[in-house]
Amino acid sequence: MTTQTTAWCWQGPGNPTEVLHATELTLPPLAPDEVLISNQVIALNPVDWKLIRHGHPDWQPGHIPGVDAMGVVTACGADVHHLQPGTRVAYHTDLRRPGSFARHTQVKARALLRVPDSLPDTAAAAFPCPGLTAWQALAKLPVLNNLPLLIAGAGSNVGRFATQLALQAGARVFASAGPAQHAWLKQCGVTAVADYHDTDWLAQLRHAHHDQPFDAAIDLVSSAQASQLVEALGFYAHLVAVLGRVEHNPRPAFTHCISLHEIALGAQHAFGSDRQWQQLVAAGEQLLQQMAQGQLTLPRLILSDWHRLPEQLSALEAGGQSAKYLIQVQA
């Protein structure tokens, strides 16, 4: 069975408003391990505009971008038995395959998260990329209870999830963020917050920790900044870099013994085992349940219609990190 759909197709590197074209196309038959999703809400992420602007090694003109969405299962491949048509799901897609910027998307069944009945479509769509990335970052840390944890970039969507999950686990969080996020972070229970615009923001957080080293840091800004955080870490500490890896340990061998961790949610599609997918999906579904119960909160949601998708990507690129941009898919 084939499906007629409409998608925003990429024509080459450039501004989203110039290189994304709405295109009518026919999807191929489902593979045995795939599910066809009728998308209800598409979520926009920084990785989307970055790849649209700069390209991806596996993309050719006509590729459908987009990593996140939620929708309803409309058909299942022959080997899919744990999902049924009508099931509400959220997902993060494989960058090498046609993505979520379409009315319909074919997704590997093992990557789908079942959405609680009480959770709105918009909230479910806003979760996968930032929520799963935050979970992966915290999973790198062996013990969270009473851990003095530095989160650099806590005002981002990933940072928001990471902060809430770390606090739930009993960590003592010290955070950098823009001024607009300070009140919310303090209300959540963050021990100290510094404005990342200040040149001495790291010194401020170290002072708030009585000039003691942190046991772990999660950087959500860049690999260059992550490397700079090493000076604030103590013996046997952990450094988790989400946006770019730290290639070399800045500390000499057999001194501070800092463990370096990299996060790459997209790489799990190519290299993750079935067991690792089962763990990630189970964690994701548990977090969606927490969202349905009000235990995890989202940033401000900005919902626009299908025709404004390229425009909203440009708005996100221009500085919309403190909100979550969503696209309502019209029937």
Are 167 and 189 in contact by the 8 Å Cβ rule? The answer is yes
Tokens, residue 237: 């500490």
* pLDDT computed for residue 270 by the predictor: 96
* pLDDT computed for residue 331 by the predictor: 53
Going by C-alpha positions, the residue among 97, 121, 115 that lies closest to residue 107 is: 97
Give, for 216, the enclosing helix (H) or strand (E). strand 214-219
Amino acid at residue number 286: Q
Provide the pLDDT confidence category of residue 317 given band limits of 50, 70 and 90.
very high
Q: Per-residue pLDDT averaged across 27-47, rounded?
A: 97
Lowest-confidence region among 37-41, 161-165, 248-252: 248-252
pLDDT digits (tens, 9 = 90+) for 175-206: 999 999 999 999 999 999 999 999 999 999 99
pLDDT digits (tens, 9 = 90+) for 127-158: 999 999 999 999 999 999 999 999 999 999 99
The sign of the dihedral angle between the CA atoms of 57, 50, 35, 21 is negative
DSSP annotation of 141: -
What is the value of pTM for the model shown?
0.96
* pLDDT computed for residue 56 by the predictor: 95
* pLDDT computed for residue 250 by the predictor: 86
The yes-or-no verdict on residue 71 having pLDDT over 90 is yes
**Alpha helices in 6-154, H assignment, sequence order:** 16-19, 46-54, 121-125, 128-139
pLDDT digits (tens, 9 = 90+) for 11-20: 999 999 999 9
- What is the C-alpha to C-alpha distance for residues 224 and 78, in angstroms, rounded to an integer? 46
Q: What rounded mean pLDDT belongs to the chain? A: 96
Q: Per-residue pLDDT averaged across 291-318, rounded?
A: 96
Determine the 3-state secondary structure of 84 from DSSP: coil
pLDDT digits (tens, 9 = 90+) for 22-35: 999 999 999 999 99
* pLDDT computed for residue 74 by the predictor: 97
* pLDDT computed for residue 133 by the predictor: 98
